Amino acid sequence: MTIENTGLKLPAGVALRLASPADLDAIMLLEQECFAAEAWSRQNIQAELTEPHTYYVVLQDEGGNLLGYAGLSKLSSSDQSDIQTIAVSPSQRGQGFGKILMRALLDEAVARHAKECFLEVRADNPVAESLYRTLGFEQIDVRKNYYRPSGVDALVMRLDLRRYAPVVLGIETSCDETGIGIVRGNQLLANVISSSMDEHARFGGVVPEIAARAHLEALRPTMVKALEEAKLTLDEIDAIAVTNGPGLGGALMVGVGAAKALAVATGKPIYAVNHLVGHVGVDVLERGELEVPTIALLVSGGHTSLLLVRNLLDDVELLGETIDDAAGEAFDKVARVLGLKYPGGPEIDRAAADGDPKAIRFPRGLSLPKDMAEHRYDFSFSGLKTAVARHVEVAEASGQSYSKADVAASFREAVVDVLVTKAVNACLDYDVPRLLLGGGVVANRRLREVAAEQCAKQGIELRIPAFSLCTDNGAMIAALGAQLIMAGRRPSSMGFSAESTLAVTDVQ
Ligand code: KG4
Ligand code: ZN
């Protein structure tokens, strides 16, 4: 039986499946090859394979040859689980098979509701010990002369499974979306969003005070709904993560206050995390891990940032950002000029459908050679917005009609052209073969089209998370919190505050 586990990436041609008694001969051969005099007996392994409280898996190649096997034991009466054995064929080492086997067992331990996992490792096997440490195991004891007949000591190691796959509740309130997300490790359990967008519509943009009040009202019901969706109680949450910036000060304060209150009331650890880095980290929920290095283009109503991410948790560099309006804001403002509704992005997308993108050559902000020297990766949309307004004014003043579709299409083309050109330039300049998009503007059809075209042309892999994970949401905050916990980071101290201009280098 093949094991379907989206989090585990298997090399081509390699399969992971449950072990069966039919594997006994092959397992015995490998057991002897790996452990010689200390190998288990055939009866012993046979019994292990058939016990109901054990879980044995094998890795095999296309020819059906056994590459490795491993087993876990978890009694239903206990919170503890044990790694019984793990072996990788000597000719197949150094390819990550040990880690794949371990992760299969640990995922199963979590699924069987174990809270801890224990194992013994030979004191003279630093390679295995280091693998276990990277998974979060810590040494808790030494058993002298444990292995017979060699007399080698055994190190006893323990993994807190809440660190291997912590259940984290994430709170996002940096703009107009109240987002509560719940994850278990890299697995998405719930993503509930309550938006105050409609309340801002008549003002043509987000009004900070209205957003903050809306968060206050929406937080509790949104959290209740998220817990329901995840089928969890608050007690079952291991940690809380919250966006503490960048964003609107008052809006952030509501989330930060709520998260702190929750942490104090429940005694759970709290992680204050960066909103922009959250947009990038959300990819772990779909792919199990973030492939780095990657360039990330984050475009929403509040931000337009180009990041170089070498390591999600401690090496994020801001290459450039908007020096005036955010990309989404430009869509919203131009929509208003054209008499379209808020939010402007979808309206302009619709209006542009029948327009000619080449009808009017609107300016491409910070793209002239003289600007590129200083602002190669920065953006500016206010000149473009003014150009659109002038175009409409001139047409109206002279009593001529103008084509809304052509203006919308030409404006959209100008924004998309700059966004994609600069992002692709960053990939080429830094020799990064990946581009990840995030933020509400990613809904833009033309942006997706041009990004796909340009990336394909340059051999760049384009990543666009599901739209519900692209717009502001709590799941990305929970996912980043979980990443920090899995990496062994300490919780934030309660003294942190909402920081509207938090730098991307401050991941936590
Ligand atoms: O990420 P998001 O939901 O968060 C905030 O910034 O609040 O992004 C909202 C922004 C708005 O400015 C909206 O006009 C823009 O994303 N947007 C779009 C499209 N759909 C939404 N912009 C361009 N094209 C779209 N189809
Ligand atoms: Zn955002």
Query: In a 3-state reduction of DSSP, which class is residue 194?
Result: strand
The distance of Cα 42 from the centroid of its chain, to the nearest Å, equals 44
> Dihedral of the CA atoms 30, 36, 42, 46 (nearest 10)?
-50
Cβ of 172 below 6 Å from ligand 1: no
Per-residue pLDDT of 218-247, as tens digits, reads 999 999 999 999 999 999 999 999 999 999
The whole-number pLDDT of residue 3 equals 61
User: Binning pLDDT at 50, 70 and 90, where does residue 326 land?
Assistant: very high
Lowest mean pLDDT among 211-215, 255-259, 434-438, 445-449: 211-215
Name the region of 297 (left: φ>0; alpha: ψ -120 to 50; beta: rest): beta
Place of tokens 């209740």: 224
Per-residue pLDDT of 86-96, as tens digits, reads 999 999 988 89
Q: What is the DSSP letter of 462?
A: E
Confidence check: pLDDT of 201 > 90: no
Confidence check: pLDDT of 286 > 60: yes
Q: Could you say which ligand is closest to the alpha carbon of residue 305? A: 2
How many CA atoms, within 13 angstroms, populate the side-chain half-sphere of residue 22?
5
Q: Give the end-to-end CA distance of the chain in Å, rounded to a whole number.
A: 41
Query: In a 3-state reduction of DSSP, which class is residue 143?
Result: strand
Per-residue pLDDT of 55-76, as tens digits, reads 999 999 999 999 999 999 999 9
Q: Could you say which ligand is closest to the alpha carbon of residue 280? A: 2
Atom 19 of ligand 1: nearest residue by CA position: 345
Distance CA 70, CA 87 (A): 6
Cβ of 413 below 6 Å from ligand 1: no
Confidence check: pLDDT of 46 > 90: yes
Look at residues 292, 276, 295 and name the one whose alpha carbon lies nearest to residue 430.
295
Per-residue pLDDT of 363-373, as tens digits, reads 999 999 999 99
Confidence check: pLDDT of 6 > 60: no
Confidence check: pLDDT of 207 > 90: no
Per-residue pLDDT of 116-133, as tens digits, reads 999 999 999 999 999 999
Confidence check: pLDDT of 478 > 50: yes
Place of tokens 């064929």: 89
Cβ of 342 below 6 Å from ligand 1: no
Distance CA 226, CA 383 (A): 42
Radius of gyration, alpha carbons of the chain? 27
The whole-number pLDDT of residue 36 equals 87
Q: Could you say which ligand is closest to the alpha carbon of residue 328? A: 1
Contacts of 493 (CB under 8 A, 6+ apart): none
Locate the ligand 1 atom nearest the alpha carbon of residue 346 and give its number: 26
Locate the ligand 1 atom nearest the alpha carbon of residue 326 and give its number: 12
The whole-number pLDDT of residue 292 equals 95
Predicted structure pTM score: 0.87
CA of 121 from ligand 1 middle (Å) equals 52
Q: Is 83 exposed, middle or buried (0-12, 13-18, 19+ CB in 10 A)?
A: buried
Locate the ligand 1 atom nearest the alpha carbon of residue 445 and give its number: 26
Distance CA 343, CA 98 (A): 50
Q: What is the DSSP string of 346-401?
A: HHHHHHHTTS-TTSS----TT-SHHHHHHHTT-B--HHHHHHHHHHHHHHHHTT--
Q: Could you say which ligand is closest to the alpha carbon of residue 201? A: 1
CA of 275 from ligand 2 middle (Å) equals 6
Confidence check: pLDDT of 250 > 90: yes
Cβ of 246 below 6 Å from ligand 1: no
Q: Is 327 exposed, middle or buried (0-12, 13-18, 19+ CB in 10 A)?
A: buried
Place of tokens 């509701």: 113
Confidence check: pLDDT of 386 > 90: yes
Q: What is the DSSP letter of 9?
A: P
Could you tell which of 441, 446, 464 is best to mutate to test the pocket of ligand 1, judged by most ligand atoms within 8 Å of the CB? 441
Could you tell which of 195, 200, 331 is best to mutate to test the pocket of ligand 1, judged by most ligand atoms within 8 Å of the CB? 331
Cβ of 415 below 6 Å from ligand 1: no
Residues 80-91: what's their mean pLDDT?
96
Cβ of 343 below 6 Å from ligand 1: yes
Other CB atoms within 10 A of residue 97 CB: 22
H-run or E-run covering 178: strand 177-184
Confidence check: pLDDT of 5 > 60: no
CA of 441 from ligand 1 middle (Å) equals 4
β-pair partners for 178 = 194
CA angle, 431 then 435 then 438, to 5°:
150
User: Binning pLDDT at 50, 70 and 90, where does residue 4 land?
Assistant: low
Cβ of 197 below 6 Å from ligand 1: no
Locate the ligand 1 atom nearest the alpha carbon of residue 342 and give its number: 14
CA of 388 from ligand 2 middle (Å) equals 26
Could you tell which of 300, 338, 385, 449 is best to mutate to test the pocket of ligand 1, judged by most ligand atoms within 8 Å of the CB? 300
Distance CA 484, CA 54 (A): 31
Locate the ligand 1 atom nearest the alpha carbon of residue 348 and give its number: 24
Look at residues 16, 33, 14, 32 and name the one whose alpha carbon lies nearest to residue 95.
14
Contact 214, 178 (CB under 8 A): yes
Look at residues 278, 285, 282, 307 and name the one whose alpha carbon lies nearest to residue 435.
307
Q: What is the DSSP string of 310-322?
A: EETTTEEEEEEEB
H-run or E-run covering 473: none
Q: Which two tokens stand for residue 468?
A: 């519900």
Distance CA 182, CA 225 (A): 11
Cβ of 301 below 6 Å from ligand 1: yes
Per-residue pLDDT of 462-473, as tens digits, reads 999 999 999 999
Place of tokens 């390699």: 14
Q: Could you say which ligand is closest to the alpha carbon of residue 276? A: 2
Cβ of 8 below 6 Å from ligand 1: no
- What average pLDDT does the chain have? 93
Cβ of 271 below 6 Å from ligand 1: no
The distance of Cα 68 from the centroid of its chain, to the nearest Å, equals 30
Q: What is the DSSP letter of 234?
A: G
Distance CA 442, CA 299 (A): 7
H-run or E-run covering 293: none
Q: Could you say which ligand is closest to the alpha carbon of residue 327? A: 1
Contact 243, 502 (CB under 8 A): no
Q: What is the DSSP string of 56-113?
A: EEEEE-TT--EEEEEEEE--TT-SEEEEEEEEE-GGGTTSSHHHHHHHHHHHHHHHTT
